[in-house]
Amino acid sequence: MNNDGQPVDEKHSRPARVDDTTIKALGELSKALETIHRVRGHLYSAHQLVGGADLTLDRVVELLREAGHGEVADRVEHELLGRNVLPGRWTFQIVEEFDDGYYAAFQEIERDAREKLTGGRRHIYEAEMKERRRTQGMPGHEAMPQE
């Protein structure tokens, strides 16, 4: 409880001697990481969509042959079916490279910055914004779930 009798969310509270600019910087870094999480999701969506389209080509080839269009079926089968989307890469390889490279580095650097500057606490900027914006005592505006 704080001096006003309100519960304190320790895991999201600002450590002593951490200035506003540091909290803002970590808030922006967190926001940037959240954007990269979304990028990762889009890459997985692209991976699944391309894979589904490639599997659909099996039926395309079958139907083209059935309709007597062997030359077109051959072109789809030999030039498009199973084709790399980037030189030497299918989408699973792109996702793996992203995960193991840029994504992993971004997460590690963000985590390291939080560890060094706030003892690993997350979302301090957002927690302080929540406290400024909520109406104390109003239902739906509780500081923490246990209220």
User: In whole angstroms, what is the distance from residue 130 CA to residue 113 CA?
Assistant: 22
Closest CA to 29 of 131, 129, 125: 125
Q: Could you tell me what percentage of the chain is helix, strand and coil, using 3-state DSSP and rounding each to the nearest 5?
A: 65, 0, 30
Q: CA gyration radius for the chain?
A: 25
Supply the pTM of this predicted model.
0.84
Q: Which residues of 6-29 are buried (b: 16+ CB within 10 A; e: fewer)?
A: eeebeebebeeeeeeebbeebbeb
First to last CA, the chain: 12
pLDDT mean values, one per 10 residues, the chain (147 residues): 62 90 96 98 98 98 98 98 97 98 98 97 93 91 80
Please give the pLDDT value at position 6.
62
Please give the pLDDT value at position 125.
94
What values do phi and psi take at 89, rounded to 5? -130, 135
